[in-house]
Each structure stands twice: as C-alpha cells, then as structure tokens.
Structure 1
Amino acid sequence: MKTKHLHPAGAADAAHGSFKGYVVGFVLSVLLTFASFGAVMLDVVPRHLGLAAIVALCVAQLLVQLVFFLHMGAARDQRQNTAIFICSALLIAIIVAGSLWVMHNANVNMMPTQMSMERAKMRD
C-alpha cells in the first residue's frame, strides 16, 4: 500500500536544494577550508591578524553551510527553520556567556592562592 505525503504541491521539493546548489556549497566550503589552512601555514596573513582572519573565514564557512546544506534563508518556507535556529543560537550564547560570567566572578571573589593563611586571618 502506497502512502501519499500530506505536503502541498511542490512543498516537498522546495525545501531541498538542487545538485548545482550542493556543488556550489561544497566548492565554497573547500575553498574556505584551503584559505584558512593557507592563512596559517603559508603566513599569508600577518601574525597579529591571524586569529581575526581565521574567525572571519570560519564565520563565512558557517554561513555557506547554513545556506547551501541546511537551506536556511529568508524564503517563505524556510522562515520558521531560520527563526528556530536563531533562537537556539541565542539561548546557547546566553547560557555560555552566563556560565563564563559566573566562573569569572567566582574566580575573582575567591581567596587568591598567593595570600598566606596568616594574612587571610588578618583580613577577617
């Protein structure tokens, strides 16, 4: 028995990319990977700008993969996926930033290791 999909006409194909789109995404990903490797190994970028260049190439590759492979975008049928992704990313960023803030404050407000026990008792 065959089951019919309950998608509107053409909606099932709209979410999937074409072969050309996948090839373009793959080529861009490979080029960005080689650019990152070249920036580090061939000293194309000055040392003080190395980290910024790697981060910029990393963000560019992330965007390429989101658009070409996960099909995120402003298209009408992808807005819900994009909104869910953005909300998830913001929640993760808030959790990570909050955890780092708590750990930093705990580290700052704890007794320093350089302080002797006698000096710590004098502060009480």
Structure 2
Amino acid sequence: MSEPTYRDEARGYLIGFGFALVLTLIPFALVIWGDLGPAMTLGALGVCALAQLVVQLRYFLHIDLSRQKREDLQLILFSSLLLIMMAGGTIWIIGNLGMRM
C-alpha cells in the first residue's frame, strides 16, 4: 500500500473535523432547543457520544479494523476495560460504605 500524501491526510483530518463538529453541535442543539423529553435527549446524547468516539479513533488516532492496527485497538480496549473496572469498583465501594453509614 502506498504512503498517503499530504492532500489525503489533510482531507481525512478535515472530514474528521467536520464530523466531530456536527456531533458536538447536535447535542448542544438538542439540549437548548430540543423538545424530546429527558429520556430521549439523554439517549441521543449517548448515541452522539459513541459516534464521536468512533470519529476520534478513526480520523485522528487512525485506528481502524485493519490487520496491522488491530493491536492498537486491543490495547485501547484493554485500557478502557481496566479504567471502567477501577472506576466502577470505586463507585461500588463508596456507595456501599455510604449505605452503611
């Protein structure tokens, strides 16, 4: 596979920036002008957050599902799992201690 040119890289960054900007403005618009109700607004915010994560990984960190990038993706997923376990365990312990007080 050939090395991407400056024009290709700049195009990719601009596409990613456009997606990131739209996925940032949609939640702001939903919160400011939205009449969806709290549950639908929260769900839409979650969907936009997940889409934003995918855009950041794909366009700015250059993580995709190709064979050579799979190790980087596994490293990110494992680190995320450890952080979720540590944060979740901390919240669980603090909540349990709070109930016992």
The TM-score normalised by the length of structure 2 is: 0.85
> Aligned-residue CA RMSD in angstroms?
1.9
Q: Is 1:67–1:73's contact at 8 Å kept on the other side of the alignment?
A: yes
Aligned partner (choices 94, 112, 117) of residue 85 of structure 2: 94
Which position in structure 2 is the counterpart of 1:34? 25
Deviation at 1:44, TM superposition (A): 4.7
Percent identity for Structure 1 against Structure 2: 29
> 2: distance between equivalents of 1:38 and 1:108?
38
Which position in structure 1 is the counterpart of 2:41? 50
SS in 2 for 1:18: helix
Q: Which has the larger radius of gyration?
A: 1
Aligned partner (choices 69, 73, 86) of residue 82 of structure 1: 73
Shifted more, 47-56 versus 98-107: the winner is 47-56
After TM superposition, the runs of 4+ consecutive aligned structure 1 residues lying more than 3 A away are: none
Q: Which runs of 5+ in 1 are unaligned?
A: 1-8, 111-124
1:1-124 → structure 2 map (5 Å cutoff)? 13=3, 18-110=9-101
> 1: distance between equivalents of 2:56 and 2:21?
11
**How many equivalent residue pairs?**
98
More helix by percentage: 2
